[in-house]
Amino acid sequence: MHDIIRVTGLTKRFNELTAVNDLSFSVKEGDVYGFLGQNGAGKSTTIRMLLTLIAPTSGEIELFGKKLSGNKNEILSQIGAVIEKPDVYKYLSAYENLKLFAKLSDKKISHQQLMDQLEMVGLAHRAKDKVRTFSQGMKQRLGIAIALVHKPKLIILDEPTNGLDPQGIADIRNLILHLSRERNKTILVSSHLLSEIEQVATRMIIIDKGRKLVEGSVAELFDPAQTLIELDTFNNVEAKQKISNSNWAASLQSSRNELVVMKLDKKDIPQLHRFLIDNNIDVLSLQPRHSLEDYFLQVTSGNQHVEAFTN
Amino acid sequence: MWKLLQIELFKIYRRPRTYIAFGAITAMIGIIQLGLKVDGKEYMEFVMADLSSSFQFEGNLLNGYFVCFVLLNLLLVHVPLLISLIAADMISGEANMGTLRLLLTKPISRTEFILAKFFAAAIYTLTLLIWLAVLALFVSMAVFGTDDMFVMKNYYAVQISADDVFWRYVGAFGFAALAMTTVAALGFFLSLFAENSIGPIVATISVIIVTTVLSTMSVPIFNAIKPYLFTTHMVTWKEFFDEKVDAENNVIKGTIENPDRIITSVIVLSIHIVVFVGASIWIFKKKDVLS
Amino acid sequence: MKTLFRLSLIILTACSLHLKAFSQDMMPLLKKVKEKLDKVNDYTASGTMKTDVAFIKAPIGKVTVYYKKPNKFKLKKDGGISVLPKGGVTVTMNNILNEKDFVAISAGKQMVGSFMTTVVKLVPTSETSDVVLSTLYIDETDNVIRKAQTTTKENGTYEIEMSYGKYLSYGLPSKMTFSFNTKDYKMPKGVTLEFGEDDKAKKEAAKAKKGKVEITYTSYTINKGVDDSVFSK
């Protein structure tokens, strides 16, 4: 399966702040790709760069095998997106909003198709009502209808469950699964909640402070036999160098701040220990993380939202 | 482009805010017309006071043409405020609502997007002026009748034959449309820089007030910059109501005393529009949408 | 316009009413002028009117003038607004007509255009009169007034020049030029809302100067009767 999204060395700086830092990842056709990170980790900035809302400082974005810069309209016509809050024109009706955005996609969309789309998100009976009168959940569903109406191949959902009640969250989850399984869409969904992602995603990435922490298939990342290890040494750069030149290279994940992060079988920890000593790497600490969730909470606990613990 | 323009116009004319300006113009004109209908004599005595000491007038001085001239004098200063209400909201309003990011994830070029939005604002401006013309000119003609038009200028008065007036109004309204489009372009440009509409609206109005003050103050240090201020040129529509005279001091029908002033103003205003819209495109193409 | 007609009429009327006041040698001349004018009981005339005031740009207008003995006048503009000099009406009506006493003085001869005229000065003897002096320039060949001048205390000097054509036999002019003084014209910028640079020439033109109103008659309909209703406003 070929890559729908391929991002290489993507960096975005706003004055002093580096929002996205040398980020690389790829999304394959048919993936439900979870984009995980705490608020401010750089998820939205990355997604906005994918959608041409923000211009990257450096790095490359390819979508559908084509460079985003130079093929903007061709690429965007195959994407449907809900970015954060689903904001639409409050003084227009649901139908008028949908029709307006449908017109902007380069496809001809009939009245029946518009109504079908509203039917699908359960808004057909409110088609003529002004959006002003809608609840947050209804607006979200309208936003999704707008994202789907031109039958895009790739759907990008940025924090789609923000501000929704549990029923709304469940609806979104079911919708993602439906789109993926029944309609063979490729979906990129971002969230700051691991629990949300692990239920729907096939592959995922965790980013923090604009950098990639881990990336892989959900099955692999959630493998109970595998453990994430955080290693702190006197010289992490040198340690990382030595590890990557050894048999342990495959276990090396990435580095977060100064730490070296590795993923390996629990039973291999003592062996790793020995390797470090043999290679004169002075270990300050070696901490196993028992699960991805544990790890995620740990790395993001510094300024994590209380929400993270309530779901 | 045409599709985008249609969508923008659809949005403008579905918004309640759009009709505030139409309502305000209707109310202002209605009030002034009522006042002139009831107490027009006193008003004319005041306006003609200087001439009445040497002359007496016979005929319908307070006719529709004259009333329209009074209305334009009073209103064209305020119409920019109404135009900025919509124009300065064109981008900032979408940013504020959150719809801007959704629009820009659609396969449309940012240049076309800006142009469509600007043209929509310009068309709104035009419809506002057409509405103004209907009320100020046609309704006044119906209510006050028509006759020769007396225009009082600083140092002389011009009497324009009744059959020589109408085309001047066509020109004046056309010119006013250009002047107001300049205001729209300014408001539109400023609307790029904010994510709420209040800021750009207030900024647009402030710019107009400050430049109008500079344009109207007869202070030598400001005189050098006056020719470059668009507000100086916004009042040039009055030049349509001045006629050339022959050697015998008889007016030559169908002439304009200073057509060069109109041409200069049209050029200056057009340059302003091109610069504002051009700058809007240039900035918007590079702008990160963070709203 | 009424003004200038009344002024002219009044001067003529004054001549006829108060002949006794004139010195003996002026009598026959004034009488001859009056006799000529007496041939006209009424007339309707059409012509064009032009206002020539430095600070007013006005178009040439078509006018119709009605007259009926002894002193009824009406000027109607055929569409449009007429701008007429003010002041003469009251001055002449009240001050010349009601003044019973004049001293008529012969003031020699003078050319008016290419015509030799006899100059007659009429000085009111009443001290309350607004008119200080009226001067008539009478063409003895045709027995018509070529020019008349009135100086008032309030409104300065008015002057009427008349030229004659085919209605000379009735003493009716083919063209009348009424000259008068104007006050300074100035509108505050706050009223006109014009804030451009001041035009020096235009500013100069606004200063007090002589203004003129010219009426050129194209045709008269004489002694065919004029309905009184046209004179009532």
Task: Compute and round to an integer the Cα radius of gyration of chain C.
Answer: 19
Q: CA–CA separation, A50 vs A62, rounded Å? A: 9
Position C21 confidence tier, pLDDT thresholds 50, 70, 90: very low
pLDDT of residue B255: 87
Q: What's the rounded Cα separation, in Å, for the pair C29 and B75?
A: 64
Would the CB atoms of A87 and B99 count as touching at under 8 Å? yes
For the cut 70, the answer to whether the pLDDT of residue A309 exceeds it is no
Residues from chain B contacting residue A76 (CB–CB below 8 Å): 105-107
Q: Which residues of B touch C50 (CB under 8 A)?
A: 248, 250
**What domains sit in chain A, N to C, each tagged with a CATH number?**
3-212 (3.40.50.300), 223-290 (3.30.70.980)
Question: How close does chain B come to A83, measured CA to CA in Å?
Answer: 7
Q: Long-range contact list for A95-100, CB < 8 A, 24+ apart?
A: A95/A127, A95/A128, A96/B14, A97/A131, A97/A142, A97/A146, A98/A142, A98/A145, A98/A146, A98/A149, A100/B7, A100/B10, A100/B11
Whole-angstrom Cα distance, residue B227 to residue B229? 6
In 3D space, the residue among B62, B86, B71, B83 whose CA is nearest the CA of residue B13 turns out to be B86
Chain C interface, mutation test: which of B51, B54, B215, B235, most C Cβ atoms within 10 Å?
B54
Tracing tokens 């890559």 back to the chain, one arrives at A3
B interface test, pick of C56, C64, C200 with most B CB neighbours within 10 Å: C56
C148 is a domain residue: yes
pLDDT at A295 (0 to 100): 67
Q: Which two tokens stand for residue A158?
A: 């940025």
Q: Given this model, what pLDDT does residue B68 score?
A: 93
Looking at residue A1, its pLDDT comes to: 62
Q: Does the structure show a pLDDT above 80 at B168? A: yes
Classify residue C35: in a domain, yes or no. Answer: yes
B47 contacts on C by Cβ (under 8 Å): 191
For residue A306, what pLDDT band results from cuts at 50, 70 and 90? very low
By C-alpha distance, which of B204, B147, B3 is closest to A107? B3
The reply to whether C232 falls in a domain is: no
Q: What is the DSSP letter of A130?
A: B
Determine whether the interchain pair B232/C186 forms a contact, defined as Cβ–Cβ distance below 8 Å: no
d(CA A29, CA A33): 10
Is residue C85 pLDDT above 60, yes or no? yes
Judge whether residue B282 has pLDDT over 50: yes
Please check whether residue C132 lies inside any domain of the structure: yes
Give residue C20's pLDDT. Answer: 45
Nearest-CA residue of chain C relative to B48?
Answer: C187
What is the C-alpha to C-alpha distance for residues B195 and B200, in angstroms, rounded to an integer? 9
Residues of A98-129 as b/e, b for ≥16 C-beta within 10 angstroms?
A: bbbbbbbbeeebeeebbeebbebbebeebbee
Distance CA B267, CA B45 (A): 38
Is the per-residue pLDDT at C92 higher than 50?
no
Secondary structure, 3-state, chain B: CHHHHHHHHHHHHHCCCHHHHHHHHHHHHHHHHHHHHHHHHHHHHHHCHHHHCCEEEECCCCCHHHHHHHHHHHHCCCHHHHHHHHHCCCCHHHHHHCHHHHHHCCCCCHHHHHHHHHHHHHHHHHHHHHHHHHHHHHHHHHHHCCCCEEEECCCCEEEECHHHCHHHHHHHHHHHHHHHHHHHHHHHHHHHHCCCCHHHHHHHHHHHHHHHHHHHCCCHHHHCCHHHCHHHHHHHHHHHHCCCECCCCEECCCCCCCHHHHHHHHHHHHHHHHHHHHHHHHHHHHCCCCC
Q: Does the structure show a pLDDT above 60 at C166?
A: yes
| CB-side neighbour CA atoms (13 Å) of A164 | 22
Burial class (CB in 10 A: 0-12, 13-18, 19+), A181: exposed
Q: Do B97 and A104 touch (CB under 8 A)?
A: no
pLDDT exceeding 70 applies to what percent of chain C? 69
Tokens standing for B100?
Answer: 């801007």
Of the candidates B55, B238, B251, the beta carbon closest to that of C85 is on B55
Asked if residue A154 lies in contact with residue A185, where contact means CB atoms within 8 angstroms, the answer is: yes
pLDDT of res. C62: 85
Q: What is the pLDDT of residue C14?
A: 52
| pLDDT tens track for B90-146 | 999 999 888 998 899 899 999 999 999 999 999 999 999 999 999 999 999 999 988
Interface mutation vs chain A, best among B106, B109, B117, B284, most A CBs within 10 Å: B106
Chain B neighbors of C185, CB-CB under 8 A: 50-51, 155-157
- Supply the mean pLDDT for chain A: 84
Other CB atoms within a 10 A radius of the CB of residue C166 amount to 11
The answer, for C190 touching chain B at a CB cutoff of 8 Å, is: no
Pick among C154, C185, C212, C233 to test the B interface (most B CBs inside 10 A): C185
Give the model's confidence band at A54: pLDDT under 50 very low, under 70 low, under 90 confident, else very high.
Answer: very high
- What's the CA gap between A47 and A27, in Å, rounded? 13
C195 vs chain B: nearest CA distance in angstroms?
5
> Is A20 in contact with A12 (CB distance < 8 Å)?
yes
Residue C222 has pLDDT above 50, yes or no: yes
The candidate with the shortest Cα–Cα distance to C204, out of B155, B248, B157, is B155
- Tell me which residues of chain B, numbers 139 to 158, contact chain C at a CB-CB cutoff of 8 Å: 147-148, 150, 152-158
Q: Answer whether B163's CB lies under 8 Å from B149's CB.
A: no
Confidence category of residue A189, pLDDT binned at 50, 70, 90: very high
pLDDT digits 0-9 by tens, B19-39? 988 999 999 999 999 999 998
- C80 and B161 within 8 Å at the Cβ level: the answer is yes
| Chain A touched by B286 (CB under 8 Å) | yes
Contact call for B and C: 3+ CB–CB distances under 8 Å? yes
Tokens 């990170």 appear where?
A: A37
Per-position b or e across B114-150, b if 16+ CB within 10 A of its CB: bbbbbbbbbbbbbbbbeebbebbbebbbeebebbbbb
Tell me which DSSP letter residue C97 carries.
I
Residue of A nearest to B5 (CA): A104
The residue whose two tokens read 């000491």 is B53
C-chain residues near B256 (CB < 8 A): none
The pLDDT of residue C204: 67
pLDDT classification of B181: cutoffs 50, 70, 90: very high
- Tell me the sheet residues that pair with B152: B157
Kindly identify which residue of chain B lies nearest to residue C191, measuring between CA atoms. Answer: B47
Q: How many CB atoms lie within 10 A of CB A132?
A: 10
Q: In this structure, is residue C72 part of a structural domain?
A: yes
pLDDT for B275 equals 96
The better pLDDT of the pair A154, A107 is held by A154
Task: Write down the pLDDT at residue B176.
Answer: 94
- What residues of chain B lie within 8 A of the CB of C211, using their CB? 54
pLDDT tens digits, B60-91 = 888 899 999 989 988 888 899 899 988 999 99
Residue C151 lies in a domain: yes
Residue contact B159–C83, C-beta within 8 A? yes
- Answer whether B18's CB lies under 8 Å from B82's CB: no
Confidence grade of residue C9 (pLDDT, cut at 50, 70, 90): low
CB-CB under 8 Å, C203 with B54: no
Q: What is the pLDDT of residue C193?
A: 65
Residues of C in contact with B57 (CB under 8 A): 81-84
pLDDT average, residue stretch A288-306: 60
Q: What pLDDT was estimated at residue C5?
A: 53
Instruction: Report, as an integer, the average pLDDT of B35-49.
Output: 84
Task: Say if residue B189's pLDDT is above 60.
Answer: yes
Strand partners for A263: A228
- Tell me which amino acid residue A184 is: N
- Is the pLDDT assigned to residue A161 strictly greater than 80? yes
Q: Which domain holds residue C81?
A: 2-225
- pTM over cut 0.90: no
**Nearest neighbour of B98 by CB, restricted to A72, A87, A103:** A87
Instruction: Give the pLDDT mean for A225-246.
Output: 82
Do the chains contact at B248 and C83, CB–CB below 8 Å? Answer: no
CB of B162 less than 8 A from some CB of A: no
The minimum CA-CA distance between B84 and chain A, rounded to whole Å, is 20
Distance CA B229, CA C231 (A): 55
CB contact under 8 A, C87 and B223: no
pLDDT value at position A197?
84
Bigger pLDDT: A260 vs B143: B143
Q: Are strands C115-124 and C131-139 parallel, antiparallel or unpaired?
A: antiparallel
Q: Which residue of B has its CA nearest to C206?
A: B155
Q: How many domains does chain C have?
A: 1
Does a structural domain hold residue C215?
yes
Length of chain C: 233
DSSP type of residue C196? S
CATH of the domain at C199: 2.50.20
Pairwise CA distance, residues B184 & B80, whole Å: 8
Q: Which residues 84-113 in chain C show a CB within 8 A of chain B?
A: 84-87
Structure tokens at B142: 């119906």
Residue A291: pLDDT over 60 = yes
pLDDT in tens, C94-130: 333 334 566 777 778 888 888 888 888 877 777 777 7
Using a pLDDT cut of 70, give the percent of chain A over it: 91
The structure tokens listed for A206 are 């965790």
| Higher local confidence (pLDDT), B290 or B264 | B264
Rg (CA), chain A: 21
B101–A48 C-beta distance less than 8 A = yes
pLDDT band at A247 (very low <50, low <70, confident <90, very high): confident
Q: What is the ipTM metric for this complex?
A: 0.82
Q: Share the mean pLDDT of chain B.
A: 89
B245 and chain C in contact, CB less than 8 A: yes
Q: Give how far C61 is from chain B: nearest CA, Å.
A: 9
Q: Would residue C114 count as lying in a domain?
A: yes
- Each residue of B204-227: b (16+ CB within 10 Å) or e? bbebbeebbebbbeeeeeeeeebe
